[in-house]
Structure 1
Amino acid sequence: GLKRVTSERRDLFRRPLTFKELNAFDGLVFDPPRAGAEDQSKQIARSDVPLVAAVSCNPVTLARDLRILIDGGYTLKSVTPIDQFLWSPHVEAVALLEKPKRRR
């Protein structure tokens, strides 16, 4: 059946979600500004969230944030470029990551 979806708009630079807060979720999507989400990525990496979708308009900060997640135990499943701004060099990217469940 369907599961409840929760959304929250939050300043990830001033108040990132902690790994303990994140552990309540089955998956998450984060779409930071061009500067990326370094501090938030560190909290996600410490969490047990099994599915993560990272959206980015900056390949450099996306690579940095993905490295943090991969070092935290996530596996990069795919990266899809989205060319939504025709006639411009700007491309969005969506990365999907999985983390195996820990045995408790």
Structure 2
Amino acid sequence: MLHIYCPHCAEYREEEEFHVVGQAHIARPLDPEACSDQEWGEYMFFRKNPRGLHHELWVHAAGCRKFFNMTRDTQSYEIKEVYKIGEQPSVVADAVPPQDTLGVQS
């Protein structure tokens, strides 16, 4: 079981109290009425699903009901940091050379 730190409550709580909402730091369209169907569809439905570090939006659903961001390693489930909405992450992915499907560096 994960123990997640809520930056609003300032305490660790069990993971059952939280829900992941999706990818954090998504640029919202400034003028949704001017978006084409393709642009709107990409904004609504297409998200990154990386292996490794990922910035996610979470909600403390069974607690304070406030949203916050989390940087988490999707391979190990290790939580690197939590931070409030509007703050920038201090943990960012290192520059890793791209790999082909056989795991050989390009």
| TM bucket normalised to smaller | under 0.3
Q: Which has the higher contact order (CA 8 A, sep 6+)?
A: 1
Query: TM-score, normalization: structure 1?
Result: 0.25
Q: Which structure: greater strand fraction?
A: 2
Bigger radius of gyration, 1 or 2?
A: 2
Q: Which structure: greater helix fraction?
A: 1
Query: TM-score, normalization: structure 2?
Result: 0.25
